[in-house]
C-alpha cells in the first residue's frame, strides 16, 4: 500500500512538471505552507506553559519553555533597560513551580496550603515591570550559571523565607543535599551535587554584632545588646569564600536594644526601665548600614553582592501582638497601602546610603546591586500566612482568636518573584 501511494505521488508529480499547471502549482504551495503552519501551531500548543489542572505534579516541560523564550529587560523600542521594580501585579493563570506536596523545603509557618488556607487566588499573579517583561526564573540556566559557585542569603527570618523559595524552585531540576546546620537550624547549607553549587542561609538579623536574649517564641528577657561599630562575624568570616550573597536587615531594629560603640553604651531604643538616653532607630540603622557598605567596598570582592531592601508588613487593625490581621484576598492598588512610619525610616536609610556608596563601589570594581523588593511587596497584602501560620487554626473553632503572621510570605507565593528578579539582574546586567 505504501509503495502504491509513493508510486502514485511520483506519477502525479511528473505530470505536474510536464504540463506545468501554474494554478495547481500555486495551490499545492499554499497547501504545503498551511500544513507546515498547522504542525508548528500544534507543537506550540503542546509546549504551552498554562495547565488545565489546578497544580502540576511534574513541572519539567512547563519550565523548559522559559529557557527558549527568555528576554532581557529591554524596552519594546530596545533603547534602554526598564526599572524592574516599578510595575504592576497582573493576573496570570500559569501554575506555580511547586506546591506544598512537591517541595519539602517549606517550613511549617509558611506552608499555607498544608495549614488549611482555603483560597488560591493569591498564586495567580505575575509582576509586570512597566515597559518590559520579567521572565520566570529558568532553574536549569540558573544552576548552569552557578556551577562551582557558592551563594548565601544573610539576614533574618525573611532571608530564611526567601531561601526556602529558591530551594523549591531549583529543586525541580535536582534535589539538593542538606550538608550543614547549626543546633538551632538558623545557619544551614545545601549543595546541588551535579553542579557543585552551594546555597546557604546565615543568621544575622542586624548584620552587626548583637547579644540577643529571646526564647524560641520571641519573648525577650532583656534588651538586645547591639554593637553599632562591629559587624557580625557569622557572615564576615565567610565573606571571602562566597561568590554571591544577598544581605538584608531592618526589622530587628524596632526591638528594644541597648546600643554600644567602642564597647561603651551609646544609648538605647525602647528601654523605659533603664536610665539610658533614647536614640533614634534611624541613627542606629544608618551606622550599621554604613559599616556594612564600607566593609564591602574595601573588600574588592569579585562576585556579585545584592543588598535586599527591607520588606513591609500588612497588619491591619493592630499589630501581631494586639490582634492585627491580614485577610485580604487580592493585591492592593497603588497608593492603597502606605509604608508604616518605622518601615519608611528603614527604607529611607537604605536608599540614601546605597545611593551614596554606589559610585565608590563601581570605582573599586565591586559589583553591588540593590534588590529593591519593597515596592512590589507593598502591593501584596493578600499573600501572607495570616492565621495559617498554624496548622488548621479553625478546625475546632471557626471563630478562634489566632495570632496572624502578616510579615512572612506563603510558599508558593509572591516571594518567588524575588528569584525572577535575581535571575534577570544576573543575566540582564
Give 217-247 pLDDT, tens digit per residue: 778 999 999 999 999 999 999 999 999 999 9
Q: Is beta strand 177-181 parallel, antiparallel or unpaired with respect to 188-192? A: antiparallel
Residue whose grid cell is 501551531: 41
Q: Dihedrals φ, ψ of 406, to 5°? A: -115, 25
Residue 73 has pLDDT above 60, yes or no: no
Q: What is the pLDDT of residues 85-130, one digit of tens each?
A: 999 999 999 999 999 999 999 999 999 999 999 999 999 999 999 9
CB 299 within 8 Å of CB 239? yes
Catalytically annotated residues: 157, 405, 408
Q: What is the pLDDT of residue 80?
A: 56
Give the 3-state secondary structure of residue 41: helix
Q: Dihedrals φ, ψ of 200, to 5°? A: -125, 155
Q: How far is CA 369 from the centre of its chain?
A: 15
Which of 46-60, 185-199, 211-225, 377-391 comes out lowest in average pLDDT? 46-60
Nearest Cα neighbor of 205 from 169, 161, 158 is 158
| CB within 8 Å of 9: residues ≥ 6 apart | none
At 360, the pLDDT band (50, 70, 90 cuts) reads very high
Q: What is the pLDDT of residue 336?
A: 94
Give me the helix-helix angle, 157-170 and 415-427, nearest 10°: 70
**Cα gap 245→162, rounded to integer Å:** 13
Q: How does DSSP classify residue 287?
A: H
Please state the rounded mean pLDDT for residues 243-259: 97
Q: What is the pLDDT of residue 65?
A: 27
Highest mean pLDDT among 217-226, 257-266, 314-323 belongs to: 257-266
pTM, rounded to two decimals: 0.82
**Cα gap 144→137, rounded to integer Å:** 13
Residue 27 has pLDDT above 50, yes or no: no
Q: What is the pLDDT of residue 45?
A: 30
Give the E-state strand segments of 25-105 in sequence order.
87-91
Residue 199 has pLDDT above 50, yes or no: yes
Q: What is the pLDDT of residue 92?
A: 97
Specify the DSSP element, H or E, that contains 191: strand 188-192
**Cα gap 408→389, rounded to integer Å:** 9
**66's grid cell:** 522559559
Please state the rounded mean pLDDT for residues 380-393: 98
Q: What is the pLDDT of residue 429?
A: 67
Residue 190 has pLDDT above 80, yes or no: yes
**14's grid cell:** 511528473
Q: What is the pLDDT of residue 30?
A: 36
Which of 12-21, 52-61, 69-78, 219-228 comes out lowest in average pLDDT? 52-61
Please state the rounded mean pLDDT for residues 64-84: 48
Please state the rounded mean pLDDT for residues 14-22: 41
Q: In the chain, what is the straight-line distance between the N-terminal and C-terminal CA atoms, in Å?
A: 60
At 215, the pLDDT band (50, 70, 90 cuts) reads confident
Amino acid at each position: 500500500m505504501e509503495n502504491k501511494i509513493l508510486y502514485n505521488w511520483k506519477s502525479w508529480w511528473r505530470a505536474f512538471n510536464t504540463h506545468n499547471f501554474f494554478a495547481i502549482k500555486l495551490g499545492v504551495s499554499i497547501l504545503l505552507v498551511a500544513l507546515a503552519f498547522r504542525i508548528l501551531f500544534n507543537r506550540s500548543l503542546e509546549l504551552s506553559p498554562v495547565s488545565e489542572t489546578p497544580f502540576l505534579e511534574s513541572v519539567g516541560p512547563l519550565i523548559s519553555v522559559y529557557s527558549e523564550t527568555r528576554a532581557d529587560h529591554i524596552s519594546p523600542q530596545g533603547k534602554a533597560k526598564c526599572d524592574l521594580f516599578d510595575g504592576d501585579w497582573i493576573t496570570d493563570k500559569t501554575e506555580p513551580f511547586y506546591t506544598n506536596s512537591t517541595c519539602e523545603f517549606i517550613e511549617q509557618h509558611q506552608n499555607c496550603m498544608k495549614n488549611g488556607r482555603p483560597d488560591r487566588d493569591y498564586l495567580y499573579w505575575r509582576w509586570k515591570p512597566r515597559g518590559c517583561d520579567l521572565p520566570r526564573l529558568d532553574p536549569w540556566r540558573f544552576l548552569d550559571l552557578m556551577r562551582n559557585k557558592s551563594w548565601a542569603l544573610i539576614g533574618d527570618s525573611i532571608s530564611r523565607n526567601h531561601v526556602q523559595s529558591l530551594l523549591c524552585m531549583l529543586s525541580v531540576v535536582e534535589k539538593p543535599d542538606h550538608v550543614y546546620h547549626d543546633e538551632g537550624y538558623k545557619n544551614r547549607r545545601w549543595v546541588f551535587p551535579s553542579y557543585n553549587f552551594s546555597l546557604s542561609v546565615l543568621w544575622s538579623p542586624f548584620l552587626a554584632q548583637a547579644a540577643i536574649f529571646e526564647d524560641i517564641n520571641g519573648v525577650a528577657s532583656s534588651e538586645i545588646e547591639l554593637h553599632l561599630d562591629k559587624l557580625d562575624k557569622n557572615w564576615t568570616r565567610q565573606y571571602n569564600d562566597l561568590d554571591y550573597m544577598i544581605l538584608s536587615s531592618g526589622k530587628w531594629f524596632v526591638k528594644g536594644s541597648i546600643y554600644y560603640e567602642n564597647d561603651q553604651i551609646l544609648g538605647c531604643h525602647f528601654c523605659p526601665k533603664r536610665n539610658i538616653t533614647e536614640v533614634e532607630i534611624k541613627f542606629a540603622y544608618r551606622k550599621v548600614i554604613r559599616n556594612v557598605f564600607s566593609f564591602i567596598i574595601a573588600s574588592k570582592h569579585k562576585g556579585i553582592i545584592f543588598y535586599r531592601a527591607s520588606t513591609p508588613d500588612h497588619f491591619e487593625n493592630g499589630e501581631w501582638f494586639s490582634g492585627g490581621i491580614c485577610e485580604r484576598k487580592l493585591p492592593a492598588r497603588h497608593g492603597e497601602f502606605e509604608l508604616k512610619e518605622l518601615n519608611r525610616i528603614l527604607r529611607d536609610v537604605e536608599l540614601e546610603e546605597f545611593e551614596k556608596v554606589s559610585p565608590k563601589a563601581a570605582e573599586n570594581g565591586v559589583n553591588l546591586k540593590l534588590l529593591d523588593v519593597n515596592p512590589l511587596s507593598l502591593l501584596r497584602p493578600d499573600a501572607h500566612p495570616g492565621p495559617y501560620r498554624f496548622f488548621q487554626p479553625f478546625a475546632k473553632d471557626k471563630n478562634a482568636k489566632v495570632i496572624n503572621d502578616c510579615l512572612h510570605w506563603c510558599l508558593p507565593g509572591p516571594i518567588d518573584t524575588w528569584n525572577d528578579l535575581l535571575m534577570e539582574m544576573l543575566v540582564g546586567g
